[in-house]
Amino acid sequence: MSYSQGFKGMGYVPLSQRTTKPTNRTTKSSLLSLPPELRNNIYEFALLTTVPLPRFSASLSTRVPTLLHVNQKIRDEAISIYYGRAAIELLVHQRRLWQFTVWAESLDERARKYLLSNSEIKWRVYVDKKDKP
């Protein structure tokens, strides 16, 4: 019994007997080809969480989700969801308030506007015990 005979019952057709050639068609799928309402659902799923995510501290880098770096159109669409509605925890040490100021000023105007309107922000300012009066 040959190799190809063993696969006949499984729909195997040897290359020499195939009547159609494989196509080189590739289906391109793009997030931007989806309707805006569906894209917003995807952004919400990817960016929103009920657990506050630390986004600023002296020991943590100011991480921005990768999705906001894909391209300008996606950033324009998703920035209001991330900065305006995400549960964000801002960790600031009293001696490092200047770093927070530098970080906040580095955000573009829209991000700052959405951040200020976000009711899900949790602020935590750390104070050293030795600095208390």
Backbone φ, ψ for residue 88 (5° rounding): -120, 135
Q: Is residue 10 part of a domain?
A: no
Domain membership of residue 50 (yes or no) is yes
101-130 residue pLDDT tens: 887 888 889 998 998 898 888 777 777 665
**105, part of any domain:** yes
The 10s digit of each residue's pLDDT in 18-51 is 666 656 655 566 889 999 999 999 999 998 876 6
HSE-up (13 A, CA, CB side) for residue 102: 8
Instruction: Please report whether residue 15 resides in a domain.
Output: no
CA distance 17 to 122: 67
Q: For residue 120, what pLDDT is reported?
A: 81
User: What range does the domain containing 74 cover?
Assistant: 31-131
For residue 81, tell me if it sits in a domain.
Answer: yes
89 bridge partner residues:
54, 122
- Let me know if residue 90 belongs to a domain: yes
**25/29 Cα distance (integer angstroms):** 13
Q: What is the pTM of this model?
A: 0.60
Q: Answer whether residue 54 is part of any domain.
A: yes
Q: How many domains does the chain have?
A: 1
Flag whether 26 is in a domain.
no
- Extract the tokens encoding 89: 């925890």
